Amino acid sequence: MKKFFSSFALLGTLVTVAPAFAQTPAADPPQPPASYYPAPPPLQAPSTEQGMSPTSLGSPLPAGQSKVERTDIASEAEAQLFADARKIVWGRYAKIKGAKAGEVTVTRQGNLWVVKGRIDSVAPGTEGDWASVDGVVERISPGVVQMKGEVAFRIAKVENGTPCKVAGTLHFRRSGKSNAWRLAEGDNPCDGKREGFDLVMEKPAEKKPAPAQPKRG
């Protein structure tokens, strides 16, 4: 009988203690999220038994999207004007006495328009500096020539003369009756200066026929 009462007392003690554990202080407040996003790096890279040859790897880009196959002409009038682009004017040095324009060629290779050009600065104190353009035209629309390629600027005093480039999809814009298309992405990525890189239209001079000479009697 004494053993029965002892067991009953022990059970009552456990029942009394359980709520006490349930009322323990709340856990520590949640820690702020880690700086890693979306998750911290693993402690160890997964192990592999055999690597894969890089020759069997393909491009992650959809086929055909990394290369321009043809130029989309949305404005025949703009295309006729751009076909006569002959010169490059570089705004950084254009106002220096002795500055000269560079040359650019717009050629058609089947349905694709290609643009290549370069200007070598000859203004006093800027010799050796140059700018160039190399790309293919994706689309010609009213006032805009969209090109995929690169424009490079070499300035001796910037990055120790290392060419600074803007590349990818470039836009040359013309307004009103202007005869020049200016590079919209013309901020130099190395020093932030606005370069003012223009492709300028210049129609070839028309050859007038020589006047007929009167016949001598």
Degrees to nearest 5, angle at CA 210 with 206 and 214: 160
For the segment 60-98, what is each residue's pLDDT rounded down to a tens digit? 444 444 588 999 999 999 999 999 999 999 999 999 998
What is the Cα–Cα distance from 120 to 90, expressed in whole angstroms?
9
With vertex at residue 85, the alpha carbon angle to CA 90 and CA 83, rounded to the nearest 5 degrees, is 155
The whole domain housing 171 covers: 72-201
Domain count for the chain, please give it: 1
Pairwise CA distance, residues 183 & 24, whole Å: 69
In a domain, residue 108? The reply is yes
Residues of the chain short of pLDDT 50, as ranges, are: 1-11, 14-15, 17-22, 34-37, 48, 51-65
Does the residue 66 lie in any domain? no
What residue type is 135 in one-letter code?
A: G
Q: Are 149 and 137 in contact (CB under 8 A)?
A: no
Please report whether residue 143 resides in a domain. Answer: yes
- Report if residue 26 sits inside a domain: no
Structure-token pair, residue 51: 């690597």
Does the reported pTM lie above 0.85? no
Structure confidence at residue 203 (pLDDT): 76
In a domain, 109, yes or no: yes
Three-class DSSP category at 139: strand
Residue 74 φ/ψ, nearest 5 degrees: -95, -10
Q: Which of 131, 146, 121, 115 is nearest to 193 (CA)?
A: 131
Neighbours of 177 (CB within 10 A): 5
In a domain, 140, yes or no: yes
Is residue 47 assigned to a domain? no
In a domain, 81, yes or no: yes
